[in-house]
């Protein structure tokens, strides 16, 4: 059966979709940001040059902030605009607005921020010296720990113990639409409209720093050209900047970042270092996993504690092991802050885990497939947090489907003779088995207590009111499918409300692979509530629903006919935040990915020549959209694994151009084969589990495992650029 | 002292089949003229460095990055933008999932439609090479390549194809 | 900031002369306009738009030359079937430049004048013994491309001269090849590049991104002409360092560049050159 078409697809394909920079607003001024040149220090002076007439400009600094100078997130450590100190290069210090964008650019060049420099902490792997300490007494933003069984005793009795250290680099989201916000004040209400994932995060940040109440602030999401986590937290900063300028200028103000500014100043994926010490018995069964994960937290806390949390929870992989110790810490540095990015810590820890499993396989003289077959978690067994897995998913079937689909064994065999005869090409196969927990971690969903509404319209259609945003993944289309299915209506009977905080309830942020599964399920419950409100039985057909809506609103035209739902944890979910024990997630999606690579030993280039992604995701709601999520995620992960390298200078990106930060083009990746297995999850919409982040987890280890298979060297650091592979082979004496 | 804006130049060109006269600064980018002067906002800026292809338009029959074209060089010439595209040509791209967030999409569609207009290009170039000038961060490219392949097949089977 | 729009070459060269050499010619603008809004054009900067000079537009074939007018684009050459037959290396190189959206705008002459060490068009032209035609108000001068560059972004062309054509001798070749090692497969800036051509005039090995300018590897060319045995990539390295001086930059490292160029050349030449390989012909 063909999937329903993306509801806004034609509008996007024809360029009619209006993004924030496409909105022509009368009297709108442009806003721009002057930033710190130094990674750390005291602001001594801000010099305004003579090259522009400053009387034409509105200039905003920290003194113009009506409320606390804090961007509201997990902690309140990040200022909206740096006041007396800066903690990273490109930190926002001064804002300017002018009717002409060109004049703003000239003005920014005329602003000199003079900083008395202090010693920055720039390497999260190195213990900071006393004069680099800026947070607590060790610069550690967050410590976390998971314990299960007795790791030391188990390691002492293990047949083989394998130790290795893995490192992953930062990654830039490169959503194709750069960050942008438009703000204006009208009748005492500040409205901010722009590119974002989480309207209520932005709303709460505005309420806090502008010192306003909820009624005086409104946030509207415009069509958003990609997010990947990059528009989870950072939009609060730029929204505040636009709002401050608009309030002072008494004009609408639009801030649209150039690509260079977006690359340089916005958040990235956290770099990581993960240390593994793994013990197996003589049969290759895991007896102990001792893991340490360190994240570069960057200059402010942002979301680092929860990224670390997801990272360590996924660190032991989808395996059963009775003795596990995972310690994690996120370390403050004077780097441009790291934030949310698809996968949220799990890709980092799973890269290490799945590379480590291949090393363990070699130590135990097992094939990569066999070590996973022996250790993949079975129903009734527990994860590292002692979460009992009992979902009825056949995880071995996922592994077998991936091996079959990729022709794994036959290709490995063929590659042996190919590699023996070719002068400079080497081929290899690599696999990774992994899982991804959908929704907020631990008690997060209970804390969020998301709400979701549906409203009857006078013509009998139903409007979905949600703060969950369309950012490319297909929220609008999926929500129409879910609501239509629940109410027995056609998708054309469903209207999706614009995410406008004055009209839609707080259904939580559009993150954590939670939209289809968690919010989609709330949508189902809200539909049930609507039916109840209409006095209809649970199985009332769509025609009856439509007729009842029309009748009710005809007789009570001023009434709001709204069905509502609020999140409640599924029965039996237990989580202890103190001990990190219990049900870390309501459910997991399970996957095995296989990469086939060809390494060209002339230039040490690794090319992925085939890729197969097999996953169990509960229920596929829309085949085209689900496949697109997997294929896009895999390719984004191929970039992270191979080419997306950072050149750092003073904790900032020296290669902040798309010419020098290399994301894959169509020529750099093969077709991505996708297969879904389904085992409906009773608490997800129509049985669905989350999938958005899953495909980010598996490709990097699968690719590096394939390189190891091809070359007999063990990559431990990504991106595995040709330069890095050359060094690795030179060190190994095989270059 | 604020610097006066550079002197404007009047030029005429044809945009989407319509003759237009615009007044532009000497080194204005075609991208900005289209978006901010003519309000043809379908053409997107993705990078401003000729890398991503989101700003692709067709100039005298050839695809170009409009962020690298001085508007003045379009004088007397024909420019086709995404606004000229007939939606009926796009059903294969829609069905294959060629668009997700939509920010690269207008550029992708301009390149894809140019290939559809010149199917002979497929004799010398692979579809992936033909689309390599359009970076996409959402689809992983399969949706785009599959959709273009399907559209090429469909246009081959259309009556009068190959004429 | 001023933009001048000449209608003829004499007008353009007069403008160049009158600007005192300050004016900058623009052809396809693919180099000039990168990051344009955030650049700081000087208020007294002068640009000369060449796009109206119809006489520079076409490329043409004579009995013994292919002549690329200064406005000839990469795409013009890619789509000329005769070029594919006789100057395959030009087509090969042109297809590695940026993307099609760049190939339709970028010009061969602009590639020379921009003088980037990473220029992809220049090595192919140089390997085919291109001669650059420079025109000023004073007259016309012909300069072999391999004598054009003096150092990083420096060349013999004087500020009042304009590249008006590139002349390439039509000559049968036994072998030619252009290899680009970029940061990715398309839309890439070259980390290591090399054009290889072999005709009765001898070997030409021209590397880009390996020195402050695109440069011929004359020591290696001589070794190949002399059929000196080159048994492994390591044998190439001392010959290459006589002409090249790669650096570390944000795209790669000197060690990578040199090591990879040696390997690429070795594997490219081994099948076609008797003196290159594990047991070179001369051994």
- For chain A, the farthest-separated pair of C-alpha atoms sits apart, in whole angstroms, at 84
Q: Do B94 and B142 reside in the same domain of the chain?
A: yes
Q: pLDDT-derived band of residue B7, with 50, 70 and 90 as boundaries?
A: confident
Using the Cβ of A605 and the Cβ atoms of chain C, whether some distance falls under 8 Å is answered with yes
Instruction: Show which of B38, B56, B83 is a domain's final residue.
Output: B83
Residues in chain B with CB shorter than 8 Å from the CB of C30 are 50, 65, 68
Q: What is the average per-residue pLDDT within A402-414? A: 98
Q: Do A414 and A472 reside in the same domain of the chain?
A: no
**What is the CB neighbour count within 10 angstroms for residue B86?**
8
Residues in chain A with CB shorter than 8 Å from the CB of B51 are 657-659
In a domain, A435, yes or no: yes
CA quadruple A104, B66, B8, C44: dihedral, nearest 10: 70
Q: Do B65 and B114 reside in the same domain of the chain?
A: no
Q: Report the domain count for chain B.
A: 2
In a domain, A167, yes or no: no
The DSSP element (H or E) to which A636 belongs, if any, is: helix A623-642
Q: Do A246 and A380 reside in the same domain of the chain?
A: no
pLDDT at C281: 44
Cα A447 to chain centroid, rounded: 20
pLDDT above 50 for A101: yes
pLDDT at C282: 43
Q: Do A665 and A605 reside in the same domain of the chain?
A: yes
Instruction: Show which of A236, A265, A294 is a domain's final residue.
Output: A265
Using the Cβ of B74 and the Cβ atoms of chain A, whether some distance falls under 8 Å is answered with no
pLDDT above 70 for A501: yes
**What is the CB neighbour count within 10 angstroms for residue C233?**
19
Average pLDDT over chain C reads: 95
Nearest chain A residue to B143 by CA: give it: A628
Residues in chain B with CB shorter than 8 Å from the CB of A471 are 101
Instruction: Show which of B83, B99, B129 is a domain's final residue.
Output: B83
Q: Do A100 and A239 reside in the same domain of the chain?
A: yes
Whether residues B72 and C5 touch (CB distance < 8 A) is answered with yes
**What is the CB neighbour count within 10 angstroms for residue A427?**
22
What confidence tens digit (pLDDT) does each residue in C191-222 have? Answer: 999 999 999 999 999 999 999 999 999 999 99
| Three-class DSSP category at C258 | helix
Whether residues C105 and B49 touch (CB distance < 8 A) is answered with no
Best mutation site among B139, B142, B149, B150 for testing chain A: the one with the most A CBs within 10 Å? B142
pLDDT above 90 for C270: yes
The DSSP element (H or E) to which B79 belongs, if any, is: strand B78-80
**What is the CB neighbour count within 10 angstroms for residue A543?**
11
pLDDT above 70 for A494: yes
Q: Do A89 and A219 reside in the same domain of the chain?
A: yes
Whether residues C186 and A665 touch (CB distance < 8 A) is answered with yes
Residues in chain C with CB shorter than 8 Å from the CB of A665 are 99, 184-187
What confidence tens digit (pLDDT) does each residue in A279-335 have? Answer: 999 999 999 999 999 999 999 999 999 999 999 999 999 999 999 999 999 999 999
State in Å, rounded, how far the first CA of chain C is from the last one.
64
pLDDT at A188: 96
Q: pLDDT-derived band of residue C1, with 50, 70 and 90 as boundaries?
A: confident
Q: Do A617 and A586 reside in the same domain of the chain?
A: yes
What confidence tens digit (pLDDT) does each residue in C46-66 have? Answer: 999 999 999 998 899 999 999
Instruction: Show which of B83, B99, B115 is a domain's final residue.
Output: B83
Greater pLDDT, B6 or A437: A437
The count of CB pairs under 8 A between chains A and C is: 65
Percent of chain B scored above 70 by pLDDT? 93
In a domain, B74, yes or no: yes
In a domain, A603, yes or no: yes
Neighbours of chain A (3+ CB pairs under 8 A): B, C
Q: Which two tokens stand for residue C79?
A: 């789509």
What confidence tens digit (pLDDT) does each residue in A656-696 have? Answer: 999 999 999 999 999 999 999 999 999 999 999 999 999 99
d(CA A726, CA A734): 9
Q: Looking at the partner chain, which of A105, A424, A668 has a beta carbon nearest the beta carbon of C37?
A: A105
Nearest to A205 by CA among A187, A221, A223, A192: A192
User: How far away is chain A from the Cα of C186, in angstroms, using its nearest Cα?
Assistant: 7
User: How far away is chain C from the Cα of B44, in angstroms, using its nearest Cα?
Assistant: 15
Q: pLDDT-derived band of residue A80, with 50, 70 and 90 as boundaries?
A: very high
pLDDT above 50 for A365: yes
Using the Cβ of A176 and the Cβ atoms of chain C, whether some distance falls under 8 Å is answered with no
Residues in chain B with CB shorter than 8 Å from the CB of C28 are 68
Instruction: Show which of A231, A265, A299 is a domain's final residue.
Output: A265
In a domain, A531, yes or no: yes
Q: Do B13 and B75 reside in the same domain of the chain?
A: yes
Whether residues A726 and C260 touch (CB distance < 8 A) is answered with yes
Residues pairing with C147 in the sheet: none
Q: pLDDT-derived band of residue A184, with 50, 70 and 90 as boundaries?
A: very high
The residues on C that touch A, with CB distances below 8 Å, are 34-35, 37-38, 40, 99, 181, 183-189, 192, 250-253, 255-256, 259-260, 263-264, 267, 270
Nearest to A60 by CA among A193, A252, A262, A246: A246
Q: What is the average per-residue pLDDT within C33-45? A: 81
Whether residues C38 and A260 touch (CB distance < 8 A) is answered with yes
Q: Do A479 and A616 reside in the same domain of the chain?
A: no
d(CA C105, CA C99): 10
Q: Do B77 and B118 reside in the same domain of the chain?
A: no
In a domain, B162, yes or no: no
Q: Do B57 and B92 reside in the same domain of the chain?
A: no
> Is the CA virtual torsion B129, B130, B131, B133 positive or negative?
positive
Q: Do A298 and A396 reside in the same domain of the chain?
A: yes
Q: Where are the alpha helices (DSSP H) in chain C?
A: 9-18, 74-78, 81-86, 88-96, 100-103, 108-114, 121-127, 218-225, 233-241, 254-269
Instruction: Show which of A566, A589, A607 is a domain's final residue.
Output: A566
Structural domain boundaries, residue A550: 444-566
d(CA C184, CA A663): 8
d(CA C68, CA C75): 12
Q: Do B130 and B70 reside in the same domain of the chain?
A: no
User: How far away is chain A from the Cα of B70, in angstroms, using its nearest Cα?
Assistant: 16
Using the Cβ of B6 and the Cβ atoms of chain A, whether some distance falls under 8 Å is answered with no
pLDDT at A1: 53
What confidence tens digit (pLDDT) does each residue in A582-641 have? Answer: 999 999 999 999 999 999 999 999 999 999 999 999 999 999 999 999 999 999 999 999
The count of CB pairs under 8 A between chains A and B is: 191
Q: Looking at the partner chain, which of A602, A605, A664 has a beta carbon nearest the beta carbon of C267?
A: A602
Q: Do A513 and A590 reside in the same domain of the chain?
A: no
Q: What is the average per-residue pLDDT within A160-171? A: 98
In a domain, A352, yes or no: yes
Q: pLDDT-derived band of residue C280, with 50, 70 and 90 as boundaries?
A: very low
User: How far away is chain C from the Cα of B125, in angstroms, using its nearest Cα?
Assistant: 10
Whether residues C184 and A664 touch (CB distance < 8 A) is answered with yes
Using the Cβ of B96 and the Cβ atoms of chain C, whether some distance falls under 8 Å is answered with no
Q: Please report the domains of chain C, with CATH numbers, ordered by start residue.
A: 2-169 (3.30.465.10), 173-269 (3.30.390.50)
- Give the CATH number, domain containing residue A470: 3.30.365.10
Q: Looking at the partner chain, which of B48, B53, B69 has a beta carbon nearest the beta carbon of C99?
A: B53
Burial category of A48 from C-beta neighbours within 10 Å (exposed 0-12, middle 13-18, buried 19 and up)? middle
In a domain, A43, yes or no: yes
Q: Do B76 and B94 reside in the same domain of the chain?
A: no
Q: Report the domain count for chain A.
A: 3
Nearest to A298 by CA among A143, A78, A76, A36: A78
In a domain, A700, yes or no: yes
In a domain, A667, yes or no: yes
Q: Do A692 and A643 reside in the same domain of the chain?
A: yes
Using the Cβ of B6 and the Cβ atoms of chain C, whether some distance falls under 8 Å is answered with yes
pLDDT at B163: 38
Whether residues A2 and B95 touch (CB distance < 8 A) is answered with yes
Q: Which two tokens stand for residue B98?
A: 């060629």
Q: Looking at the partner chain, which of B87, B96, B102 has a beta carbon nearest the beta carbon of A225?
A: B102
Nearest chain A residue to C189 by CA: give it: A659
Q: What is the average per-residue pLDDT within B126-135? A: 98
pLDDT at B6: 64
In a domain, B3, yes or no: no
Whether residues A723 and C184 touch (CB distance < 8 A) is answered with no
Residues in chain B with CB shorter than 8 Å from the CB of C41 are 27
Using the Cβ of B61 and the Cβ atoms of chain C, whether some distance falls under 8 Å is answered with no
What confidence tens digit (pLDDT) does each residue in A124-155 have? Answer: 999 999 999 999 999 999 999 999 999 999 99
Structural domain boundaries, residue B98: 85-157
The DSSP result for C120-189, as a single string, is SHHHHHHHTT-EEEEEETTEEEEEEGGGTEEETTEES--TT-EEEEEEEE---EEEEEEEEEESSSSS--
Nearest chain B residue to A6 by CA: give it: B94
User: How far away is chain A from the Cα of B77, in angstroms, using its nearest Cα?
Assistant: 22
Q: What is the average per-residue pLDDT within A58-72? A: 98
Q: pLDDT-derived band of residue A40, with 50, 70 and 90 as boundaries?
A: very high
- Give the CATH number, domain containing residue B117: 1.10.150.120
Q: Do A710 and A619 reside in the same domain of the chain?
A: yes
- Give the CATH number, domain containing residue A53: 3.90.1170.50
Whether residues B73 and C30 touch (CB distance < 8 A) is answered with no
User: How far away is chain B from the Cα of C203, in angstroms, using its nearest Cα?
Assistant: 29
In a domain, B57, yes or no: yes
pLDDT above 80 for B5: no
Q: Do A40 and A73 reside in the same domain of the chain?
A: yes
Peptide bond into A719 cis (omega under 30): yes
Q: What is the average per-residue pLDDT within C161-174? A: 97
Nearest chain C residue to B135 by CA: give it: C187
Neighbours of chain C (3+ CB pairs under 8 A): A, B
Q: Which two tokens stand for residue A214?
A: 């909820």
Whether residues A667 and C256 touch (CB distance < 8 A) is answered with no
Q: pLDDT-derived band of residue B159, with 50, 70 and 90 as boundaries?
A: low
In a domain, B146, yes or no: yes
């Amino acid at each position: 059966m063909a999937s329903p078409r993306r509801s806004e697809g034609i509008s996007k394909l024809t360029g009619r979709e209006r993004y924030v920079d496409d909105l022509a607003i009368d009297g709108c001024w442009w806003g721009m940001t002057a930033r710190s040149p130094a990674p750390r220090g005291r602001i001594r002076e801000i010099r305004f040059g003579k090259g522009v007439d400053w009387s034409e400009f509105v200039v905003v600094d920290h003194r113009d902030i009506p409320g606390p100078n804090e961007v509201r997130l997990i902690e309140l450590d990040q200022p909206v605009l740096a006041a007396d100190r800066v903690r990273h290069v490109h930190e926002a210090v001064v804002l300017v607005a002018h009717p002409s964008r060109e004049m703003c650019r000239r003005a920014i060049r005329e602003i000199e921020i003079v900083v008395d420099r202090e010693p920055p902490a720039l390497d999260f792997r190195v213990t900071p010296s006393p004069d680099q300490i800026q947070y607590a007494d060790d610069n550690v933003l967050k410590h976390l720990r998971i314990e299960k069984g007795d790791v030391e005793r188990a390691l002492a009795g293990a047949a083989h113990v394998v130790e290795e250290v893995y490192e992953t680099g930062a990654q830039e989201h490169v959503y194709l639409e750069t960050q942008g916000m438009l703000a204006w004040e009208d009748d005492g209400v500040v409205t901010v409209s722009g590119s974002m994932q989480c309207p209520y995060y932005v709303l709460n940040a505005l309420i806090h720093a502008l010192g306003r109440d909820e009624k005086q602030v409104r946030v509207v999401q415009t069509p958003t050209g990609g997010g990947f986590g990059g528009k989870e937290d950072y939009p609060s900063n730029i929204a505040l900047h636009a709002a401050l300028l608009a309030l002072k200028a008494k004009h609408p103000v639009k801030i649209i970042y150039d690509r260079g500014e977006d690359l340089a100043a916005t958040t990235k994926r956290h770099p990581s270092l993960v240390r593994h010490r793994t013990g197996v018995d003589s049969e290759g069964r895991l007896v102990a996993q001792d893991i340490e994960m360190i994240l570069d937290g960057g200059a402010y806390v942002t979301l680092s504690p929860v990224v670390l949390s997801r990272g360590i929870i996924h660190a032991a992989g989808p395996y059963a092991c009775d003795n596990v110790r995972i310690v994690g810490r996120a370390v403050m540095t004077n780097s441009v802050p790291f934030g949310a990015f698809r996968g949220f810590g799990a890709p980092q820890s799973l890269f290490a885990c799945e590379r480590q499993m291949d090393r363990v396989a070699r130590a135990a003289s097992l094939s990569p497939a066999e070590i996973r077959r022996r250790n993949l978690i079975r129903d009734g067994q527990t994860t590292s947090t002692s979460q009992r897995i009992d979902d009825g998913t056949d995880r071995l079937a996922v592994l077998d489907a991936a091996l079959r689909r990729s022709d794994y064994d036959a290709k490995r065999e063929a590659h042996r003779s190919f590699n023996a005869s070719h002068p400079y090409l080497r081929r290899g196969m690599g696999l990774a088995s992994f899982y991804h927990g959908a929704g907020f971690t631990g008690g997060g969903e209970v804390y969020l207590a998301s709400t979701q509404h549906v409203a009857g319209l006078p013509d009998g259609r139903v409007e979905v009111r949600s703060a969950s945003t369309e950012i490319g993944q297909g929220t609008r289309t999926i929500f129409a499918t879910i609501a239509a299915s629940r109410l027995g209506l056609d998708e054309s009977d469903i209207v999706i409300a614009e995410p406008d905080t004055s009209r839609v309830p707080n259904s939580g942020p559009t993150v954590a692979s939670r939209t289809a599964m968690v919010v989609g399920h709330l949508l189902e419950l809200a539909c049930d509530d609507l039916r109840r409100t209409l006095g209809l039985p649970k199985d009332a057909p769509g025609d009856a629903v439509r007729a009842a809506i029309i009748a009710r609103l005809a007789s009570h035209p001023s009434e709001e006919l709204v069905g509502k739902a609020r999140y409640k944890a599924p029965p039996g979910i237990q989580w202890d935040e103190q001990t990190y024990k219990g049900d870390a997630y309501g459910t997991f999606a399970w996957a095995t990915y296989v990469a086939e690579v060809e390494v060209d030993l002339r230039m040490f280039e690794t090319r992925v020549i085939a890729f197969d992604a097999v996953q169990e995701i509960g229920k596929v709601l829309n085949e085209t959209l689900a496949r697109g999520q997997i294929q896009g995620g895999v390719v984004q992960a191929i970039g992270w694994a191979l080419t997306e390298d950072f050149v750092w200078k003073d904790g900032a990106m020296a290669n902040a151009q798309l010419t020098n930060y290399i994301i894959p083009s169509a020529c750099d990746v093969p077709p991505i084969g996708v297969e879904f297995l389904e085992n409906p999850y009773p608490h997800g919409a129509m049985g669905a589990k989350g999938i958005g982040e899953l495909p980010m987890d598996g490709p990097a280890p699968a690719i590096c495992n394939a390189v190891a298979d091809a070359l007999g060297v063990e990559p431990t650091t990504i991106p595995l650029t040709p330069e890095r592979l050359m060094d690795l082979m030179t060190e190994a004496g095989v270059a | 002292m604020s610097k006066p804006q550079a002197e404007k130049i009047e030029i005429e060109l044809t945009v989407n089949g319509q003759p237009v006269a615009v007044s532009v600064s000497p080194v204005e980018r075609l991208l900005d003229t289209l978006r901010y002067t003519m309000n043809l906002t379908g053409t997107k800026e993705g990078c401003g460095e000729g890398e991503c292809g989101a700003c692709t338009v067709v100039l005298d029959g050839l695809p170009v990055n409009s962020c690298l074209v001085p508007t003045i060089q379009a004088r007397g010439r024909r420019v086709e933008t995404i606004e000229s595209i007939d939606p009926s040509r796009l059903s294969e791209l829609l069905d294959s999932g060629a668009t997700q967030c939509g920010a690269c999409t207008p550029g992708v569609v301009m390149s894809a439609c140019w290939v559809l207009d010149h199917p002979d290009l497929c004799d010398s170039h692979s579809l992936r090479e033909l689309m390599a000038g359009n970076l996409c961060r959402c689809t992983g490219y399969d949706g785009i390549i599959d959709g273009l392949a399907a559209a090429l097949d469909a246009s081959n089977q259309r009556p009068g194809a190959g004429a | 900031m001023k933009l001048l729009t000449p209608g003829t070459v004499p007008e353009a060269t007069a403008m160049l002369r009158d600007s005192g050499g300050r004016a900058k010619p623009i052809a396809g603008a693919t180099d000039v306009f990168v990051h344009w809004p955030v650049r700081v054009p000087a208020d007294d900067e002068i640009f000369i738009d060449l796009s109206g000079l119809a006489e520079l537009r076409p490329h043409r074939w004579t009995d013994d030359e292919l002549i690329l007018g200064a406005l000839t684009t990469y795409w013009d050459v890619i789509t000329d079937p005769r070029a594919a037959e006789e100057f395959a290396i030009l087509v090969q190189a042109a297809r590695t430049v940026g993307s099609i959206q760049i190939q339709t705008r970028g010009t061969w002459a602009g590639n020379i004048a921009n003088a980037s060490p990473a220029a992809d068009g220049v090595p192919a032209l140089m390997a085919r013994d291109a001669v650059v035609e420079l025109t000023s108000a004073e007259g016309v001068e012909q300069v072999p491309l391999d004598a054009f560059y003096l150092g990083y972004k420096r060349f013999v062309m004087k500020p009042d001269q304009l590249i008006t054509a590139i002349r390439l001798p039509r000559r049968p070749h036994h072998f030619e090849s252009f290899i680009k090692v970029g940061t990715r497969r398309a839309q890439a800036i070259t980390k290591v590049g090399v054009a290889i051509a072999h005709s009765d005039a001898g070997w030409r090995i021209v590397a880009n991104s390996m020195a402050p300018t695109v440069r011929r590897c004359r020591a290696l060319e001589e070794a190949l002409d002399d059929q000196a045995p080159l048994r492994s990539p390591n044998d190439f390295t001392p010959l290459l360092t006589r002409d090249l001086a790669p650096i570390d930059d944000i795209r790669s490292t000197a060690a990578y560049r040199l090591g990879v160029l040696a390997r690429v050349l070795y594997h490219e030449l081994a099948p076609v050159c008797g003196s290159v390989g594990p047991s070179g012909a001369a051994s």
